[in-house]
Chain A
Amino acid sequence: MAQMPAVTGVVKDGKVTIVGATITAQNQATKAKAVATTDKNGVFSFFRLPSGKYTFTITFVGYDPKVMVGDVKDGGTFSLSVVLKEGSTTLDKDVIITGTGITRNKNSFTGSTATFSGDQLKMLGTNNVIQSLRTVDPSFILFENNLAGSNPNVLPQIEVRGKTSVPSATLRDQYGQDPNQPLFILDGFETTLQTVVDLDMNRVGSVTILKDAASTALYGARASNGVVVIETIRPKPGQLRFSYSNDVSLEIADLSGYNMMNAAEKLEFERLSGRYIVTNGQPTSQLYMDQLYNDHLAAVKRGVDSYWLNDPVQNGFSNNASIFAEGGDESLIYGVGLNYKNKDGALKGSGRDSWSGNINLTYRKAKLNINNILYVRGYSSVESPYGSFSNFVNANPYYVKESENRYLEDTFTSQYIRLKVANPLYNASLPNYNTGKNLEVQNNLSVNYDFTSDLRLRAGLQMVKGNTTNESFAAPENTQFESTPILQKGKYVNSILSNFSYQANLLLTYGKVFAQKHSVTANARAEITNSENSTKSYTAVGFPEGSTGNPKFAYGYLPNAAPTASLNTYRTASATLSANYAFDSRYLFDFSYRLDGSTAFGKNNQFSPYWSTGIGWNIHQESFAKNKEWLNRLKLFANIGVTGNQNYGTITSVSVYDYNTNTNYNQFGQGVTLSSLGNPDLEPQKTVQISTGLDFSLLGNRLTGYLNAYMKRTDPLVVPVDLPSSTGVFNYPLNAGNLTYKGAEVKIGFSPIYHPENRVVWTLSLTASLYKSKYDGFENKLASLNKQQEINKSLIRYFDGYSPDDIWAAKSLGIDPATGREVFVASDGQYTFDYNTANLQAVGNTTPVAEGVLTSTLVYKGFNLGINLRYRTGGDVFNTALYNKVENITYSGISLNQDKRALYDRWKKPGDIALFKAISQTQVTPMSSRFVQRENTLTGESLNLGYTFNNKNWMRKIGMSSLNINAVTNEIFRISTVKRERGIDYPFARTVSFSLRASF
């Protein structure tokens, strides 16, 4: 017997050897197979292989398989050197991850989606995924929160392709979530916005935004607002490898928007507005006022000009360190990550520390694949003891800054009402606190079983358990307790929130290509979810002076108040079918159907069907286009579908009773009364979406992008309405009206320099989003809501034919030069001095004509430079600084600092052409179009510069395989056509950060 030939070889990835790769050798004649795996040096060997021609298939997770052919001869030694190319598993460019386990092939799918890699997002900013997503996708709109500014503990407001329900505070669901917020999916299971915001960006593998019905129909009742699917980096097998990242950043408060008076200006303003002229005509009082004025004047002359704004701000330093270890072989892969982020906000004392750890284990054997990810995460948040920033913005500049006294001044107004001016620095020096602590454990388990290569079963189970404790304390010395009885001074609030949820799903996938032309994929999926949220809270009052807020020292509970407690259980059950068919990769067809049941729907409509269907055409696959060099990819698609938005209260379908408050009883005991009347016929909100798009990649991939257009119509809306009071029914969930959005998104990128093979690419790109929205079908059903809005001085109304973003106010012609009074236009076109709520009309719209980002990215070898500028053109804003700080300054408001324009731009004498009313007028100015301004802005959203070192000699010595450093600035500048105050309670911040990532 001749000696069998030996075949040996080594498998590498570039210069690193791969452990655990599988090599299958198949004899081409006999079809006999032999299998070997690489050892710890990446070496494999077949010792006895019959001679003949062989096909060697080398496979390894995370890499593209490689096929080699070799002639093995008796007595010889055959040796192979294999270099595997890393597959695009971290971001598989051809696969759309839907988060349900159902994956879609990008080339044959007919929906509108966008996928970004974690690295891509990290480069744009180190803050969180959300901040970076807005830069890369035009449909992902982040709203400016003018109250909370850059407070790290406040969640952002997000919309994808507009709203699908009436924005009303009473409509918020049990989580207090924004009803127009998209659904977030993390590693296959629904998660909260808070978790996404706190997610370590270094762990993010990819983010996919699903925008239209075809892509979101898999989520049925939760899909109308779009879906954001986040996948964390999956560990790769091999030798134990470490990667370490560190990001440091600085938050610097942007105080440029505040236009406050200096001491001299302020005093002059007070004089002109009549603060020092008594109204009761008593000479002694006037003497007092004159003395007060002179005291203030003396302070100004002494040079007192306090700039209070810089006291509560700081350069908030934050540091994020994360480490990840991974490795394993073909059958067991492991990954362990740890992350700690310490973030200080731009206001002193405010910050947010978050941390997380995860263990990811994958076991594979034959047809079975089990993956388990355990996450443990937590945060602690602290609000600034300085309280609202507005206290400092509004502090008078002619007072000397000090923190000793409770009051800066104790005087009288000209109407002889006592006026005590609270000292914000004194309040800040007290041991106030407002903190939150959270701990959450989550486990995701998924099991795959491949019956055949065409049929796969997948089961998933997720459990989450979390706990949050919030504590706040206001010291008894705080000026807010000035008129509180002694035994109720000081306030401590403790609330405990806990959440528990589980989700389980089962998915059957079938995929096969018939006759090489008919590609079919079909999925069937069933899912149940359960989530429980509970809160408990109590309030203690009456603290001794000097108390640091231990509730033990409280005098008692808040009088006549009971502890609050709530528990919500919310369940869904759903079944989904989806199918995709592609003919010759040219003609594409998609269909999805989902039946959704939940505790939220009306009792008589417990289940609700959702569906979508789409068609597509891959023009570049047509024979006439196939050999065109300038045409790399051109896909046209259109789809239609119905999805839902169930972000509203859970038991709107049944009547709910509540026990009378704890102080009400009689000799028969307590009683229950109706707290809300159910509407058993309530229909869930359904959104019909029509979406079409064109994806292109032309001129050898130099010109890429897409054009999308959509129509989104939610009908019916669910609106909680107060019915006529004689019905006794309030806050009644009603199906009323509809809301339509029509819009388009564009992204065009062009690369003047394009040498990807040498890693030299310069790309210029533009994104734009445009939309219009309209209500209809309300008739008069929302009259009570409109009345409420009027009483609450809201700018929003609900009328047919108008947009949710319209600004409702009185139409103003400006200030009459003769009298200094405002002239309004009545609904019949007459001019009038009288303000009448019947004359209110839509005087502006906050939706911009277009919003998007201009980007330039340059990659040169290891260098990359990115410039991202956000433009926003044509939206209106209601300038609250003008409304509150130039006009509407009350007698007591005169003692607070005001906008400079209150002094310079107001009407003073007949003949003045002024923008604002007479300076002496302290009565209420109604909201009018005078305060509505058209705003165009340009923002330096993200500027970044980075360099990646690879395989340098010095690196090898310390065992490092790659090193990346990156510097980013966010919001570094902002140019606007409107001068207005941004950041009322918390200033906006500019961010500068540096990050470093090393792999070993």
Chain B
Amino acid sequence: MKTPIKNILLALFALSTIFSCKKYLNVQPEDKVLEGALFSNKQGINSALNGLYISLTNKNLYGENLTLSTVDILAQRYNIASSHDLYKAATYAYADKPIVEKIDAMWTGAYTGILNVNEFLNNLDKYPNVIDGKTDSIYRGEALGIRAMLHFDMLRLFGPRYSTADSLKASIPYYSTTKSSINELLPANKAIVMVINDLAAAEQMLKNDPVIKNGTMIPAIGDPANFLTSSRNYRMNYYAIKALQARVHLYRGDKVSALAAAKLLIQNADKFKWTTSNNALNEKTDPDRVFTTEMILGVQNSDLYNRYDALFNPSLADNVILAPLASRLATVFETNENDFRYNLNWTVPSNGGKTYRTFYKYADVVNKDKVNFRFTIPLVKISEMYYIAAECEPDATTAVGYLNTVRVNRGLLNLASTVNINTELQKEYQKEFFGEGQLFYYYKRKNITSIPNGMATSGTVVMGAVLPLPLSESQYRP
């Protein structure tokens, strides 16, 4: 009797301790989403992909700092009071608080986004066959595009002035995989090659993007958005990749490639329809102020109207609101009320007691059902492709023609083919990209050192074109 009992017990011991343990210890927490659970089904992968887009709308990135506020302030867009939170940005005092924290937040936000992209790509490899090959290819393409765009914007902020001999100087690290160790700072000319390679890979992945056949496919109001066949202009679509290529090539000084990419977009311009004078001039309550129909790529920031209230709302005090000096603004738009961008988005407010025009581009509309364009911040629009084409096109007449296409669609008159194309382009960049951050990059790319001082009615200031690496990064660098 004794021995069998003992043996059974010993066997139980062995069983309980060796075989069942691994399974027993494998606990799935309910209040967190573990990688394995997330990437084991399509919904999970969709959430992870959408998470990449949502992190782009973070306040530190395209949700505010890279579009609405900090980067535009670096381009002297606004008249910043000395007691304003962002005064140190307007004066390029990069070592002072709070701009030093903003710089850190932009840098950290971008690279956290990049980590998420790398983990997303890594996990698509690690958990294969959950989604079909076609979807997989498009998702990867989108992710690669996001990685390239984030790196490129960090390069434009923290890298040297590229159009000079400085392009060989150290710029940013490039992360193509998840790493817990630091990557070296690449020379700017090497970093840009990484961006171009990622964009080329993304282009390849996205060659079957439904946008090519069907356009942006904005769903009817009330219809749910599909990850492949809806609102492609809110996704890193095939054309967004091409548009970014145009932007990157031009930044690199490769006008031939930039022109080729821009021309592809211009050929497909019917997919990104110009806004109408009806929308810009006649629609009083619910205009599409950001021209989402022209948008090749944009983000939807559910926090946008809170950001508007904090930055541009006319009820803000004079020393808090972001608004240009009236005369500077008038100069930019050449006091031309016909300009859609001026007429629609710059008005002297009826409330708040302001005597100057304030910025309405990101104000909410009355009808909250306008989900097709509410909450939108554009990142690339078709107009920029015409600008790039105009800048790269060797033939002066054709170049001015590209520019005039945009002007006509902004309610302006055609320019003569004899105008100085660069002067006119600079004016256009100043008008077109309010609240989109592109002007700072334009000045930097064109190697313009002194720019009009936003805090005085006349005169210029020297632009601080290169942001310093934040301490959270530089302390690890020799």
Set of chain A residues within 8 Å of B230, measured between Cβ atoms: 667
> How far apart sit A110 and B219, CA to CA, in the bound complex (Å)?
77
Set of chain B residues within 8 Å of A506, measured between Cβ atoms: 9, 12-13, 16
Q: Is the CB of A668 within 8 A of B46?
A: yes
Q: Is the CB of A673 within 8 A of B51?
A: yes
Closest-CB distance, B412 to chain A (whole angstroms): 33
Q: Which of A507-541 contact B (CB under 8 A)?
A: 508, 524, 526, 528
Set of chain B residues within 8 Å of A780, measured between Cβ atoms: 476
Q: Which of A651-691 contact B (CB under 8 A)?
A: 651, 654-660, 663-675, 677-679
Q: Which of B42-64 contact A (CB under 8 A)?
A: 44, 46-55, 57
From A566, A660, A727, A784, give the contact of B475 (CB < 8 A). Answer: A784
Chain A residue total in the interface (Cβ 8 A): 65
Set of chain A residues within 8 Å of B115, measured between Cβ atoms: 674, 677, 727-729
Q: Is the CB of B29 within 8 A of A568?
A: yes
Q: Is the CB of A724 within 8 A of B31?
A: no
Q: Which of A726-762 contact B (CB under 8 A)?
A: 726-729, 732, 734
> How far apart sit A76 and B468, CA to CA, in the bound complex (Å)?
109
> How far apart sit A599 and B23, CA to CA, in the bound complex (Å)?
10
Chain B residue total in the interface (Cβ 8 A): 74
Q: Which of B201-257 contact A (CB under 8 A)?
A: 219, 225, 227, 230-231, 234
Q: Is the CB of A573 within 8 A of B24?
A: yes
Q: Is the CB of A674 within 8 A of B31?
A: no
From A457, A664, A677, A783, give the contact of B178 (CB < 8 A). Answer: A677
Chain B interface mostly: helix
> Closest residue to B227 on the A side, CB-wise?
A668
Closest-CB distance, B159 to chain A (whole angstroms): 13
Q: Is the CB of B54 within 8 A of A665?
A: yes
Per-residue 0/1 for B107-131: is the Cβ within 8 Å of any A Cβ (1 yes, 0 no)? 1100111111001000000000000
Set of chain A residues within 8 Å of B300, measured between Cβ atoms: 666-667
Most buried by A among B2, B13, B52, B54: B54
A570 touches B (CB below 8 Å):
yes
Closest-CB distance, A269 to chain B (whole angstroms): 32
Per-residue 0/1 for B162-194: is the Cβ within 8 Å of any A Cβ (1 yes, 0 no)? 000000000011010011111100000000000
Per-residue 0/1 for A551-582: is the Cβ within 8 Å of any B Cβ (1 yes, 0 no)? 00000000000000111111111110000000
A36 touches B (CB below 8 Å):
no
> How far apart sit A457 and B36, CA to CA, in the bound complex (Å)?
41
> How far apart sit A573 and B27, CA to CA, in the bound complex (Å)?
13
Q: Is the CB of A728 within 8 A of B116?
A: yes
Q: Is the CB of B16 within 8 A of A526?
A: yes
Per-residue 0/1 for B6-26: is the Cβ within 8 Å of any A Cβ (1 yes, 0 no)? 100110110011001110111
> Closest residue to B104 on the A side, CB-wise?
A725
Closest-CB distance, A625 to chain B (whole angstroms): 41
> Closest residue to B473 on the A side, CB-wise?
A725
Q: Is the CB of A725 within 8 A of B108?
A: yes
Closest-CB distance, B100 to chain A (whole angstroms): 12
> How far apart sit A572 and B21, CA to CA, in the bound complex (Å)?
9
Q: Is the CB of A659 within 8 A of B33?
A: yes
Most buried by B among A506, A568, A667, A734: A667
Closest-CB distance, B78 to chain A (whole angstroms): 26
B365 touches A (CB below 8 Å):
no
Closest-CB distance, B57 to chain A (whole angstroms): 7
Q: Which of A614-642 contact B (CB under 8 A)?
A: none
Q: Which of B138-181 contact A (CB under 8 A)?
A: 172-173, 175, 178-181
Q: Is the CB of B302 within 8 A of A656?
A: no
Contact A508 B47, CB 8 Å, known A599-B27, A672-B33: no
Most buried by B among A452, A506, A650, A669: A669
Set of chain B residues within 8 Å of A607, measured between Cβ atoms: 21
Contact A724 B182, CB 8 Å, known A673-B116, A678-B35, A784-B475: yes
Set of chain B residues within 8 Å of A566, measured between Cβ atoms: 31
> How far apart sit A663 and B303, CA to CA, in the bound complex (Å)?
7
Set of chain B residues within 8 Å of A606, measured between Cβ atoms: 22, 25
Contact A595 B17, CB 8 Å, known A573-B25, A727-B181: yes
A38 touches B (CB below 8 Å):
no
Set of chain B residues within 8 Å of A570, measured between Cβ atoms: 27
B264 touches A (CB below 8 Å):
no
Set of chain B residues within 8 Å of A528, measured between Cβ atoms: 16, 24
B471 touches A (CB below 8 Å):
yes
Set of chain A residues within 8 Å of B38, measured between Cβ atoms: 657, 672
Set of chain B residues within 8 Å of A651, measured between Cβ atoms: 29, 32, 34
B366 touches A (CB below 8 Å):
no
Closest-CB distance, A916 to chain B (whole angstroms): 29
Contact A727 B29, CB 8 Å, known A595-B17, A654-B35, A671-B54: no
Q: Is the CB of A657 within 8 A of B227?
A: no
A722 touches B (CB below 8 Å):
yes
Q: Is the CB of A784 within 8 A of B48?
A: no
Q: Is the CB of A727 within 8 A of B180?
A: yes
Set of chain B residues within 8 Å of A573, measured between Cβ atoms: 16-17, 20-21, 24-25
> How far apart sit A674 and B39, CA to CA, in the bound complex (Å)?
13
In the assembled complex, 26 residue pairs joining A and B whose CB atoms fall closer than 8 Å, in A order, are A451-B6, A526-B16, A567-B29, A569-B27, A573-B17, A656-B35, A660-B51, A664-B302, A666-B234, A666-B299, A667-B231, A669-B225, A671-B50, A672-B38, A672-B44, A674-B112, A677-B115, A722-B472, A724-B182, A724-B472, A725-B111, A725-B470, A728-B112, A728-B113, A729-B180, A784-B475
Tell me the A residues contacting B by CB distance below 8 Å.
451-452, 455, 457, 506, 508, 524, 526, 528, 565-575, 595, 597-599, 606-607, 650-651, 654-660, 663-675, 677-679, 722-729, 732, 734, 780, 783-784, 787
Known A-B contacts: A571-B27, A656-B34, A668-B50. Give 4 more (CB < 8 A): A508-B10, A663-B303, A727-B175, A728-B108
Tell me the B residues contacting A by CB distance below 8 Å.
2, 5-6, 9-10, 12-13, 16-17, 20-22, 24-27, 29-36, 38, 44, 46-55, 57, 104, 107-108, 111-116, 119, 172-173, 175, 178-183, 219, 225, 227, 230-231, 234, 299-300, 302-303, 371, 375, 470-473, 475-476
The 8 A-B pairs at the shortest CB distance, nearest first, are namely A728-B115, A671-B51, A671-B50, A725-B472, A666-B300, A575-B17, A728-B112, A655-B35
